[in-house]
Structure 1
Amino acid sequence: MIFDFQYVVTSFTTAIHYIPATLALSLIPLFLGIIFGTMIAVCRRFRIKFVAPLADIAIPVMKGIPLVLYLFIMNFLIFKPFDMLAQYYAWADIIRYMDKLYIGIIAISIYAIVIISETMRSALMSVGKGQYEACYSVGLTRWQALWRVILPQSLPVAIPVLGNNLIGLIKGSSVVYLITVLDVMNGALTTAQINYRFLEAYIAAAFIYWGICLLTEWLFTVWENHTKKYQMRIDKHNLRKEVL
């Protein structure tokens, strides 16, 4: 079968309609991962009782589980109870019309929390102990030091890795086609199932993922440069105060 670029264009125009689904499957887990991952990283960094030992055991174990397994596990954990209820109460349509996009978001969010917690923990550990001692010497509590000094200094360190995490989530979100969620990958394949032009469909999906990842990398580079300039202004301001 001769390669036909026209089918690439057809698959491309079909797949772009599912970009919002792919962004939801990556941006929502990123947001939840930053919130809960940072909380876990802080607990491990400051050795919070009960939470830190539990996280020390759970995070390495969960980090070793592939994303596709999270997807399948959450699919069965969520759908199995609903399936039993549907059979008992004769709810024939509850499973048929349930949007599996939410299952994909939940599964990818769990995966994102695990990997981003490691990212934030590394960023927190990049701040020297002298910064903590300086905060305590002026009367700041542990949480005041964390919020005012430690996190602002660790954020520029974490941003490049967070960008890579997001790119990984964007590419990893393509596995949701296994539970029949229509994202960019599955959207591109809908035309291939009619004309059997799977190579053209895969190339069209690759172009879309490539464009999204390039835009993501550029946005995180702008964010990183902004935080560095902001940190430099703060350092200059503090230096002037010390001189005066």
Structure 2
Amino acid sequence: MGEPFDISYVFEYLVKLLPTLKVTLLIVVSSIVIGLGVGFIVALPQLYKIPILRRLSQVYLSFFRGTPILIQLFLFYYGLPEILKLVNVDVAKLPALYFVILTYALHSGAYLAEMIRAAVGAVDRGQVEAAYSVGMTGFQAFTRIVLPQAMAISIPVFSNLVIANLKDTSLAFSLGIMELTGKSQTLAVMSRHFVETYISLALIYFVISFGLEKLFHLIEKKLLRHERRLAAEDKEPRLHKGKTKRFRFIAGPGFGRGGRENEA
């Protein structure tokens, strides 16, 4: 059993946990950046239906989406050095943080690949054909037409993936990484104030997740501002048309209030 609850430890541990926040953010940012590159490469065979590469990408997606990330961490940390030894490459002395970032990047890449595939597929094909008709190349059509819309569509999913990645970093301490969760475990064992430690940890995760959610919401609003303006312009002519029609009916020549013809 732990020590009696003391609220003062919550604030004390908040200060002690903050220095390890940079390790957690390093894992999240690095894995997402690398994962975006991996996800884009994996999504291409799915989008263009390249036979052999498409099958390989499906195997990759099935493995990383169908196995727990904790198992993946152990496989890469203990198994990858043994495999590389077969080709005379020794990575056993590398810091565990490299293996953690690699695992989280490949894990995130699987979900990001599906996000990219779905977002690109959601863009109307007619717009791409219209871009070709005015002389755009395939690259220009993708970067100017498809990519901006796909980014706006994918922001909610991307936000969820980043926040999920942030929370999943709590498993990195299983390989000895002293991130937020690893540091909290040490503090809890040393002081035996377990509840206070985990309240502090939960507050930090909540504040970061809430901030990320608001940030991505602002980005989504900015990316979709053109669609909202077009929607408003589409509604405005209909409103003016209705008002004009009503005005002509009421104030038309030869008719008075209630639509009856004037006798004068």
TM-score normalised by length of structure 1? 0.83
Structure 1 residue aligned with 2:44? 42
Amino acid at match of 2:5: F
Deviation sequence 1:113-163 (CA, Å, 0-9, x none):
001111111111111221222223233333332222111111100011111
Please report how far the alpha carbon of residue 78 of structure 1 lies from its aligned counterpart in structure 2 after TM superposition: 4.2
Q: SS at the partner of 1:50?
A: helix
The 2-side partners of 1:140 and 1:48 are apart by 24
Deviation sequence 1:70-107 (CA, Å, 0-9, x none):
111111134547999xxxxxxxxx85xx5322211111
The 1-side partners of 2:218 and 2:103 are apart by 29
Structure 1, unpaired ranges of 5+: 85-93, 237-244
Amino acid at match of 2:103: A
Structure 1 residue aligned with 2:54? 52
Structure 1 residue aligned with 2:218? 222
Amino acid at match of 1:219: L
Structure 2, unpaired ranges of 5+: 87-91, 233-264
Please report how far the alpha carbon of residue 20 of structure 1 lies from its aligned counterpart in structure 2 after TM superposition: 0.7
The 2-side partners of 1:79 and 1:14 are apart by 34
Question: What RMSD, in angstroms, separates the aligned Cα atoms of the two structures?
Answer: 2.6
Structure 1 residue aligned with 2:98? 102
Determine if the alignment matches structure 1 residue 152 to structure 2 residue 124: no
Structure 1 residue aligned with 2:169? 173
Q: 1:32 aligns with which of 30, 34, 55?
A: 34
Output aligned runs, 1:112-127, within 5 Å: 112-127=108-123
Percentage of matched positions with identical amino acids: 26
Amino acid at match of 2:43: A
Count residues in correspondence.
226
Aligned CA distance change for structure 1 residues 230 and 38 (closer, same or farther; 3 Å): farther
- Equivalent pair of 1:12/1:188 in contact (CA under 8 Å): no
Determine if the alignment matches structure 1 residue 210 to structure 2 residue 206: yes
Please report how far the alpha carbon of residue 62 of structure 1 lies from its aligned counterpart in structure 2 after TM superposition: 2.4
Structure 1 residue aligned with 2:180? 184
The structure whose Rg is larger is: 2
The 2-side partners of 1:228 and 1:160 are apart by 12
Please report how far the alpha carbon of residue 222 of structure 1 lies from its aligned counterpart in structure 2 after TM superposition: 1.3
With 194-203 and 225-234 compared, the bigger mean Cα shift is at 225-234
The 2-side partners of 1:233 and 1:49 are apart by 41
Aligned CA distance change for structure 1 residues 81 and 123 (closer, same or farther; 3 Å): closer
With 212-221 and 7-16 compared, the bigger mean Cα shift is at 7-16
The 2-side partners of 1:79 and 1:197 are apart by 38
Determine if the alignment matches structure 1 residue 143 to structure 2 residue 145: no
The 2-side partners of 1:115 and 1:141 are apart by 29
Q: SS at the partner of 2:55?
A: helix
Instruction: Report 1 or 2 for greater relative contact order, CA contacts < 8 Å, sequence distance ≥ 6.
Output: 1
The 2-side partners of 1:13 and 1:38 are apart by 39
